[in-house]
A and B are shown apart, each in its own frame.
Chain A
Amino acid sequence: MPDLWLVALSAAAAAAVAVLGVIPVILSGEVSPRLGWANALAAGLMLGAGYVLRQQGIALSPVGGIAGSVVGVTFVFASHRFTNLADVDLSRPEDLASATVPQIVTRELLHSAAEGVAIGAGFLVDPRLGLLMAGTLGLHNVAEGAAISAALIERGWHPTKAALLSAGTMAAHIPAAVATAAWIGAGGLPWVLGFSAGAMFYLILVELMPESYRQRGHTGIAITASAAMSVVVLLHAILVG
């Protein structure tokens, strides 16, 4: 079993950096289109990380790896439907008007719990993969934190409270990561790896990519995402082998 304190700390650090997202919102008064780059970078890194998780899962058990990824896609799809925010882009003011704070918080909690499973699953394969997952998701959380903070500030929240709630919703990473690392045995591992890869893949497609295209156009985003993807795959090969 991996060191659960290290798992918890990494997940907590990934969640905590979400507070940084409030800074560009305070400076520019909105979700800056520059965050499109952060989103594309995060999308590429998460796709690369998803590639690694999927490959590891399939190598352990093709059925578990593939079926797990279908469960992951279904989980995020269902959680979006459950909160009635399936087609809502939090970084777009006109979409925000229709979303309530409890809806946003529930969606983000479920979303970050799925990502927490990915951190835990990474640690189960290799601590370095776990750290790589936490770093990748931390970067994604900055852009995510900006979108949530902007939504809350728009509703009259103080920026400090908005930033803290953003990080608070991401804190679902911690129990999800620790529970995955502590309870998942060898039989469940390919399923959990597949689940994480599928959930992240779906999240990238419904949130990160469309948002970054809208913020920054197509070519730059495509280059950023492709390059970031190859960096993670390479990093994993160098660090973990």
Chain B
Amino acid sequence: MPAVVVVLLAGLITALATGLGAIPFLFVRTLSPKVIAFSNAIAAGLMLGASFTLVVEGMPFGTWQTIIGANLGVAFILVTQFLLPDEGLEFGELKGGGAQKALLMVIVMTAHSFAEGVAVGVAFGGGESLAVLITIAIAIQNIPEGLAITAAMRPRGASIASSAWWSVFSSLPQPLMAVPAFLFVDTFAPVLPYGLGFAAGAMTYMVFRELLPDAYADATRPEVGLIVSLSFTAMVASQLLL
């Protein structure tokens, strides 16, 4: 099988794995205000954890570039949020403010996958022998990202099926970007720190602007503190292990 097809298939498998993140929500029948607050806290911790790893990954490629990317990521979400209307917006079965937040979440996670896709492609460029291992690792690493998206979309009224679909959708840029990055490592490597920083900044801002305030709304501060801290640690640990 040509190497390009292997990279593309690997990327597709990793994207599908993201949908598995919706599964825990099959067991959560009622969405009480407390469950919603906890979901937001879990999503906040997982996304902060992912941002941490992205910055750690980006820094060796260029400190300034990673930081500039991060601030561009914040600016990007600010502008997108300004441009997206609060009223009258529809996204899947969601309407209004909930639709705006859910759409922003999908945009942020999709941007993050673009950056990860480039990272995967550049990593594969180094040799094909570890291909299977890297694919399995990224697929597993994507599951909590799907969990983060579902944890943020479910409280805003999205069904489990549509949360799972948007989770997979948000990871599709991974194979799409991995292939060209793999083929043209030299072209993509310099852009990588900007992309990783951008994704980290966008996710961090999203946590501060949307997820944390919503978590505090219906959970006590120690509850939010513990859930965010533990999901953050779990995300960092899982990414380190893989």
> Is residue B56 contacting chain A, with contact meaning CB distance below 8 A?
yes
B208 & A77 in contact (Cβ 8 Å cutoff): no
B232 & A201 in contact (Cβ 8 Å cutoff): yes
Q: Which of B20-48 contact A (CB under 8 A)?
A: none
Q: Which of A144-152, A183-191, A202-210 contacts B (4 or more CB under 8 A)?
A: A202-210
Please indicate which of the listed interface residues B56, B74, B233 has the most CB atoms of chain A within 10 Å of its own CB: B233
Residues of A close to B56: CB separation below 8 A: 55
Residues of B close to A227: CB separation below 8 A: 71, 74
Q: Which of B216-232 contact A (CB under 8 A)?
A: 216, 220-222, 224-226, 228-230, 232
Residue of A nearest to B220 (CB): A87
Out of A55, A77, A230, which one reaches B222, CB within 8 Å?
A77
Out of A66, A89, A207, which one reaches B233, CB within 8 Å?
A66
Binding site of A, secondary structure by majority: helix, strand, loop or mixed? helix
Residues of A close to B233: CB separation below 8 A: 66, 69-70, 73, 198
B213 & A62 in contact (Cβ 8 Å cutoff): no
CA of A139 to CA of B185, assembled, Å: 44
CA of A162 to CA of B78, assembled, Å: 41
> Is residue B130 contacting chain A, with contact meaning CB distance below 8 A?
no
> Is residue B204 contacting chain A, with contact meaning CB distance below 8 A?
yes
CA of A51 to CA of B237, assembled, Å: 14
Residues of A close to B78: CB separation below 8 A: 219, 223
Give the distance to chain A from B85, nearest Cβ to Cβ, in Å: 16
A87 & B229 in contact (Cβ 8 Å cutoff): no
A80 with B205, Cβ < 8 A, contacts A230-B71, A237-B59 known: no
**Which residues does A use to contact B, with CB under 8 Å?**
51, 54-55, 58, 62, 66, 69-70, 73, 77, 80-81, 86-87, 89, 198, 201-202, 205-207, 209-210, 213, 218-219, 221-223, 225-227, 229-230, 233-234, 237-238
**Which residues does B use to contact A, with CB under 8 Å?**
52, 55-56, 59, 63-64, 67, 70-71, 74, 78, 201, 204-205, 208-210, 212-213, 216, 220-222, 224-226, 228-230, 232-233, 236-237, 240
